[in-house]
Structure 1
């Protein structure tokens, strides 16, 4: 069987338009040039352009008004957290702000998990924590660590915390190979995370919040240092 190309012309055009929008080449609120002009400029058909537009409308970067044109949305003002993975891929500068939210939300999640976790959820957390220490390498330890935090969010009993956690990790995962530094030694990674799980397991909300804040601050510092971001 013939191998299919990894990118179609629609993929290439979508990526090109996205980067131009995020770079500010098409300011928020401005209308894009007429479709025929754009299609000719990029050397594509109007059908291809419409498909690319459709994807960017779905991602929240564009809005199309029949008979008026296609306008760039003010995604920072009106967009949702679902845009974060795309924004991080465009610019690592977003990571600092993501880490700030990660730290404040993560501490609250640990505190609430200590108050709300069921016996089964505590057992799951202990098992997932053990998987961090048993990981074969830093990449596996990093993925195991993510699962601990997803489980902490579920243990709060609040589905919004779970969705926020998933959104933050969806933004983080595209760059995770560059953020593996805290997990290179699985045993050290396990020891760093263990106080959080132990406090949640003990039902000590105050200790869980404090341990989570310390853990998130430490891993944030290690990752940003590895990226060379002050």
Structure 2
């Protein structure tokens, strides 16, 4: 058994600041109040505030300039996809937009993989597909399914597709437990995914695109039901 993580005061403050920024209490482009006043307002020490600031600077929501202050960044203009997990935690409606990108990118990845995958990658895809059927729990099925998609991205030979795949899966993490619907039955999960692997390993790019689009559309439908 794994110990449950314990929230620290920095974790709580980070979440409060994040929600206040994304909710518009601290608008993009504005400077936060002086540290002492802000710390008093949240009921924390300035040291705790600085730790939370550091995390949000690293996440891309804040920028601190010595002698000037801490400014809220316009994440919609200058932010990257690495912000998606944070945005999903703030507003689950982001998941709908992630689904749209997931389907478009996933179908394109399968198409590219069909023309570029090596024999060794074909063997890896088949082995990973078998792992989906052999998984012992919905959580394990879900993770095994993820590994198939990571392997498809690697098979394109394009590292950007790999990073995009990682980013989209990372974005699911805050709500992953609600997205287990397609993975409750290992045999059904395997059956849905098998046509994608078959098309890719046969080198049929058109069929790979169509199979991936159908797979992603069906699993999205089931996931949406879980979110509802």
Please classify the TM superposition score into its range, dividing by the shorter chain length: over 0.9
TM-score normalized with structure 2 length:
0.95
Question: How far 1:47 sits from its partner (Å)?
Answer: 2.0
Question: How far 1:191 sits from its partner (Å)?
Answer: 0.5
Spell out, residue by residue over 1:27-81, the C-alpha distance to the aligned partner (whole angstroms, 9 max, x if none): 1111111111111112222222112111111100001122221111111111000
Counterpart in 1 of 2:46?
A: 46
Equivalent residue runs for 1:194-213 within 5 Å:
194-213=194-213
Find the aligned partners of 1:34 and 1:192 in 2 and give their Cα distance: 55
Question: How far 1:7 sits from its partner (Å)?
Answer: 2.7
Question: How far 1:8 sits from its partner (Å)?
Answer: 2.6
Find the aligned partners of 2:93 and 2:8 in 1 and give their Cα distance: 29
SS at 1:125 equivalent: helix
Spell out, residue by residue over 1:126-149, the C-alpha distance to the aligned partner (whole angstroms, 9 max, x if none): 000011111122221111100000
Equivalent residue runs for 1:63-82 within 5 Å:
63-82=63-82
Question: How far 1:153 sits from its partner (Å)?
Answer: 0.2
SS at 1:192 equivalent: helix
Counterpart in 2 of 1:125?
A: 125
TM-score normalized with structure 1 length:
0.94
Find the aligned partners of 1:160 and 1:146 in 2 and give their Cα distance: 17
Find the aligned partners of 1:19 and 1:140 in 2 and give their Cα distance: 32
Question: How far 1:174 sits from its partner (Å)?
Answer: 2.6
Spell out, residue by residue over 1:85-127, the C-alpha distance to the aligned partner (whole angstroms, 9 max, x if none): 1111111100000000000000000000001101111000000
- Flag as ranges the 4+ runs of structure 1 deviating above 4 A: none
Find the aligned partners of 2:110 and 2:129 in 1 and give their Cα distance: 14
Question: How far 1:22 sits from its partner (Å)?
Answer: 1.5
- Greater mean alpha carbon deviation, residues 73-82 or residues 39-48: 39-48
Q: Which runs of 5+ in 1 are unaligned?
A: none
SS at 1:28 equivalent: coil
Counterpart in 1 of 2:223?
A: 223
